Amino acid sequence: MKRLMLLAALAAPLSMAQAEEAKEEALIDPSDLTRVYTQAAVFVTSDANIRTSTMATGAWTDDIQFAGFVEAYWGDRKNEDEFGMDYLNGRAQYFQVHGINNGVMPRIGFSTDFMHYSNVGAKDSKIAAFGAIGLINPKFTGGKLMLFPNLAYATGSMGGEDVDGYAANLYATLPIGGQGAFIQFSPEFLSLSGDTLNIDTMTYNGFISAPINKGRTQWLMTKISHKSETINGFNDEGDLTLEIGYKWFF
Longest Cα separation, the chain? 84
The per-residue pLDDT for 100 is 93
Q: How far is residue 177's CA from residue 217's CA, in Å, rounded to a whole number?
A: 18
User: Given a cut of 60, is residue 14 above it in pLDDT?
Assistant: no
The per-residue pLDDT for 191 is 97
The per-residue pLDDT for 25 is 56
Helices (H) and strands (E) in the chain, counts: 1, 13
* Phi, psi at 233, each rounded to 5°: 90, -10
User: Given a cut of 70, is residue 114 above it in pLDDT?
Assistant: yes
Domain coverage including residue 120: 2-249
Residue 89 sits in a domain whose CATH number is 2.40.160.40
Q: How far is residue 55's CA from residue 85's CA, in Å, rounded to a whole number?
A: 21
Q: Decide: residue 55, CB within 10 A, 0-12 exposed, 13-18 middle, 19+ buried.
A: buried
3-state secondary structure of 24: helix
In the chain, the number of structural domains is 1
Identify the band that residue 78 occupies on the pLDDT scale cut at 50, 70 and 90.
Answer: confident
The per-residue pLDDT for 111 is 97
Q: What is the mean pLDDT of residues 112-136?
A: 91
CB 128 within 8 A of CB 116: no
Q: What is the mean pLDDT of the chain?
A: 89
Q: Which residues does residue 50 pair with via DSSP β-bridges, in sequence order?
A: 44, 74
Q: How far is residue 36's CA from residue 61's CA, in Å, rounded to a whole number?
A: 14
Identify the band that residue 36 occupies on the pLDDT scale cut at 50, 70 and 90.
Answer: very high
Interval 192-229: pLDDT, tens: 999 999 999 999 999 999 999 999 999 999 999 999 99
Q: How far is residue 70's CA from residue 94's CA, in Å, rounded to a whole number?
A: 9
Indicate the pTM of the whole model.
0.86
Interval 147-198: pLDDT, tens: 999 999 999 999 889 999 999 999 999 999 889 999 999 999 999 999 999 9
User: Given a cut of 80, is residue 118 above it in pLDDT?
Assistant: yes
Identify the band that residue 87 occupies on the pLDDT scale cut at 50, 70 and 90.
Answer: very high
The per-residue pLDDT for 162 is 96
The per-residue pLDDT for 238 is 80
